[in-house]
Homo-oligomer: A and B are copies of this chain.
Amino acid sequence: MARQESWGKLIKQISDVMRKNANNAMRSQDMTISQMVALLELEETPEKQRSLKELEQCLHVAQSTAAGIVSRLEQKGFVKTLGDAEDRRVKLVQITPAGRMHVADAKKDMSQAEQKLLSALTDAERDIFYVLLQKVCRSLS
């Protein structure tokens, strides 16, 4: 099959547009998409704290990156941090009520933006696309 552009270039382009759209949507709430994704992660288990380590793993970023994001979320009062009594090396992070309010607002925006990017595909194509994406992702290790 003849290809003008590599599939990598296409993936990158879609991903870039996604990120730009998401950041534009978040700007009105004085947030970034990375901060919002971190909040979403923390919101899934509102009663429990997550360690910085766990957070960095599920966000797929370096430790220093996660630390920066948490630090900025903390400055805004969207998360609070505390030490772990059982392992004093560990820093625990927990979403605050203020943080939870922001998440609720953002969730709608984000899924709308996603759907918009998929508008070029039929329902059947979306299903195939999703399966193929999953397949590639699973092989990533």
A6–B114 contact, CB under 8 A?
A: yes
Query: Does A98 lie at the interface of the complex (its beta carbon under 8 Å from any beta carbon of B)?
Result: no
Contact check, B133 vs A119: say whether CB atoms are below 8 A apart. Answer: no
A3 with B130: CB separation less than 8 A: yes
What residues of B have a CB within 8 angstroms of the CB of A129 in the complex?
Answer: 7, 129, 132, 136
Check: A104 CB closer than 8 A to any chain B CB.
Answer: no
How far, in Å, is A12 (CB) from chain B's closest CB?
A: 6
Which bucket holds chain A's interface residue count? 35 or more
A11 touches which of B8, B15, B119, B139 (Cβ 8 Å): B15
- Which chain B residue has the least Cβ–Cβ distance from A133? B10
Secondary structure class of chain A's binding surface, majority of residues:
helix
- Give A100-119 as 1s and 0s: 1 = Cβ < 8 Å from B's Cβ atoms: 00000000001100100111
Are B14 and A140 neighbours in the complex by a CB distance under 8 Å?
yes
Query: Is A85 an interface residue when CB atoms closer than 8 A count as contact?
Result: no
A17 engages B140 (CB within 8 Å): yes
CB atoms of A120 and B139 under 8 A apart: yes
Chain B nearest Cβ from A64, distance in angstroms: 15
- A27 interface residue (CB < 8 Å to B): no
Q: Once bound together, how far apart are the Cα atoms of A125 and B126, in whole Å? A: 14
Task: Give the chain B neighbours of A128 by CB distance below 8 A.
Answer: 128, 132
